[in-house]
């Protein structure tokens, strides 16, 4: 079962960071623990010190401002993001993503920050946040820094946090006008981890409807959530047609380096990347047009 | 000292408890082993089956996937806290009367997921009912009867017949 550890439950970010700077590599932070307890039960993770930040209520918030965009506290639970009227109104894709993230029980206790710090390349929030050009605020006793969501994941279950750092906030800029974003994943059962996932954001130029900007991010297609810049380039500057979406899917499939496992071979996943990039990009395009 | 027991103060089914638990203890083990509330079932112990679903501060959560110490200061409700003495909760009653219960192992978790839904949303759509119990596996595949029973209970709780 779970190995013994020393347990701390700080009530403030400052307290948490001070514990972290004291114990560093020996310590792990736990938020909802919906992913972390699984790997602790498996014995893959056995921290000496466990810093439980679930009770830091100051990191549980959702704020929106037209200029600044969206700010989500790292300890906001998935279910609150799913149900937030602010998010449903301004970032509907995040709410849609949450609806298929595991089960209600998991979403009721698990946090967005915990999900991102777990660094599972099959996780749902990361590809969507990459497509939305999100940034993460990391804090340590020495201060704060901002990293791009797309630079945060480093390898399977590894992220860019230094030993004395914690994630405190997810920042999503307000998208430019005429932008549409969508996310879907291949599931056997609702709530499954995606066998593959694709998030696409498309911004159209006013007037002629040419694709001005595109972001494509894939889930479970490499050791990290993966941006597909070559596929994005196929769309940017073009009047996007179905034929072009098929091409973008093919390019993305070539960029992917998916694993082979019981859920699907690498070959199958590449085929599914073609399907999902095309399908999700079409939906993003429809939404961008509807926003025009 | 590593693994040193810690104080845990929580409320379970309205009753306050002060316990001393090892830091690596799961909530489900406190409920079943310390408090002898064995109505909460252990199926997979791995966040997959939902049999151990309880409420923490009114929300359905899997008690195998929460450290007991994380519930310090919180309100936990288990299946034992659902009926009013001998009077079954309408959800329990509907499940019995409608024949939703087969072997019964998943039933406590189903009731807790259904109750969390109906406490928040008295008139759920079928899709919302399905979503609420999506994380509760029934080895007898008795999902349709459960869904219907929850809808019957919802109607009764709204004051219908």
Rounded Cα distance between B129 and A163, Å, is: 43
Residue A73 in contact with residue A62, Cβ under 8 Å?
yes
CA distance to A168, A215, B85, per residue, from A203 (Å): 29, 9, 60
Q: Domain A6-52 classified CATH 2.60.120.380?
A: no
What is the interface size between A and B, counted as CB pairs within 8 Å?
Answer: 92
Flag if A103 and B135 touch (Cβ within 8 Å): yes
Instruction: Give the pLDDT band (50/70/90) at residue A156.
Output: very high
The pLDDT of residue A127 is above 90: yes
* Fold (CATH) for B6-81: Ubiquitin-like (UB roll) (3.10.20)
The pLDDT of residue A292 is above 90: no
The pLDDT of residue A259 is above 60: yes
Flag if B1 and A6 touch (Cβ within 8 Å): yes
Rounded Cα distance between A223 and A120, Å, is: 8
CATH architecture of A57-172: 2-Layer Sandwich (3.30)
Flag if B24 and A2 touch (Cβ within 8 Å): yes
Domain spanning B90-157, CATH class: mainly alpha
Average pLDDT score over residue span A214-229: 98
Per-residue pLDDT reduced to its tens digit, A95-125 = 999 999 999 999 999 999 999 999 999 999 9
Radius of gyration of chain B (CA): 16
| Residue from the list A38, A54, A191 with its beta carbon closest to the beta carbon of B70 | A54
Flag if A41 and B6 touch (Cβ within 8 Å): no
List all residues of chain A from 165 to 194 with a beta carbon under 8 Å from chain B. 190-191
pLDDT given at position A1: 81
Chain B CA closest to residue A6: B2
Domain boundaries, chain A: 6-52, 57-172, 179-290
Which residues in chain A have their CB less than 8 angstroms from residue B116's CB?
A: 104, 108
| Residue from the list A5, A6, A109 with its beta carbon closest to the beta carbon of B66 | A109
Q: Identify the residue among B67, B68, B143 best suited for mutation to test binding to A, counting A beta carbons within 10 A and taking the highest.
A: B67
Domain boundaries, chain B: 6-81, 90-157
Q: Identify the residue among A103, A114, A118, A120 best suited for mutation to test binding to B, counting B beta carbons within 10 A and taking the highest.
A: A103
Domain spanning A179-290, CATH class: alpha beta
What separation, in Å, do the N-terminal and C-terminal C-alpha atoms of chain B show? 59
Flag if A105 and B50 touch (Cβ within 8 Å): yes
Average pLDDT score over residue span A3-19: 97
pLDDT given at position B96: 97
Which residues in chain A have their CB less than 8 angstroms from residue B23's CB?
A: 4-7, 50
Per-residue pLDDT reduced to its tens digit, A166-216 = 999 999 999 999 999 999 999 999 999 999 999 999 999 988 889 999 999
Bridging pattern class, strands A6-8 and A49-52: parallel
Longest dimension (CA), chain A: 62
pLDDT given at position A208: 85
Radius of gyration of chain A (CA): 19
**Which ipTM score applies to this complex?**
0.96
**CB proximity list for A99: less than 8 A, separation 6 or greater:** A82, B131
**What tens-digit pLDDT sequence spans chain B (161 residues)?**
677 899 999 999 999 999 999 999 999 999 999 999 999 999 999 889 999 999 999 999 999 999 999 999 999 999 999 999 999 999 999 999 999 999 999 999 999 999 999 999 999 999 999 999 999 999 999 999 999 999 999 999 999 64
Per-residue pLDDT reduced to its tens digit, A47-76 = 999 999 999 999 999 999 999 999 999 999
């Amino acid at each position: 079962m779970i190995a013994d550890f020393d347990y701390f439950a700080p009530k403030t970010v400052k307290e948490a960071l001070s514990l972290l700077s004291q114990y560093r590599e020996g310590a792990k932070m736990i938020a909802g623990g919906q992913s972390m307890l699984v790997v602790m039960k498996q014995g893959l993770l056995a921290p000496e010190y466990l810093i439980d930040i679930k009770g830091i209520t100051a990191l549980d918030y959702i704020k929106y401002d037209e200029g600044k965009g969206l700010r989500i506290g790292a300890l906001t639970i998935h279910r609150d993001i799913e149900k937030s009227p602010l998010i449903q109104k301004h970032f509907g894709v995040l709410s849609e993503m949450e609806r298929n993230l595991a089960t209600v029980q998991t979403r009721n206790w698990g946090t967005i920050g915990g999900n991102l710090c777990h660094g599972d390349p099959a996780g749902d929030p990361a590809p969507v946040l990459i497509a939305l050009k999100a940034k993460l605020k990391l804090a340590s006793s020495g201060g704060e820094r901002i990293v791009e969501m797309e630079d945060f994941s480093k390898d399977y279950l590894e992220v860019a946090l230094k030993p004395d750092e914690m994630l405190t906030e997810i920042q999503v800029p307000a998208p430019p006008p005429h932008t549409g974003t969508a996310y879907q994943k291949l599931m056997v059962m609702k709530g499954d981890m995606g066998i593959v996932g694709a998030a696409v954001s498309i911004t159209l130029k006013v007037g002629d409807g040419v694709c001005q900007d595109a972001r494509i991010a894939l889930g479970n297609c490499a050791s990290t959530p993966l941006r597909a810049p070559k596929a994005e380039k196929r769309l940017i500057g073009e009047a996007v047609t179905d034929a072009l979406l098929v091409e973008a899917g093919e390019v993305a499939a070539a960029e992917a380096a998916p694993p082979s496992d019981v859920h699907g071979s690498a070959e199958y996943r590449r085929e599914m990347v073609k399907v999902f990039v095309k399908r999700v990009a079409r939906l993003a395009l429809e939404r961008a047009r509807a926003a025009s | 000292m590593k693994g040193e027991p810690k104080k845990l103060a929580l409320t379970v089914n309205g009753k306050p408890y002060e316990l001393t638990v090892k830091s690596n203890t799961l909530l489900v083990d406190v409920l079943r082993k310390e408090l002898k509330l064995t109505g909460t079932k252990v199926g997979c112990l791995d966040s997959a089956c939902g049999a151990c679903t309880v409420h923490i501060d009114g929300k359905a959560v899997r008690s195998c996937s929460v450290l007991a110490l994380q519930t310090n200061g919180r309100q936990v409700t288990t299946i034992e806290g659902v009926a009013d003495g001998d009077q079954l909760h309408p959800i329990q009653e509907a499940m019995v009367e409608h024949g939703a219960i087969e072997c019964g192992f998943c039933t406590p978790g189903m009731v807790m997921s259904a109750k969390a839904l109906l406490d928040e949303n008295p008139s759920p759509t079928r899709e919302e009912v399905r979503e609420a119990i999506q994380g509760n596996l029934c080895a007898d595949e008795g999902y349709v009867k459960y869904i219907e029973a929850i809808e019957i209970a919802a109607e009764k709780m709204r004051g219908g017949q």
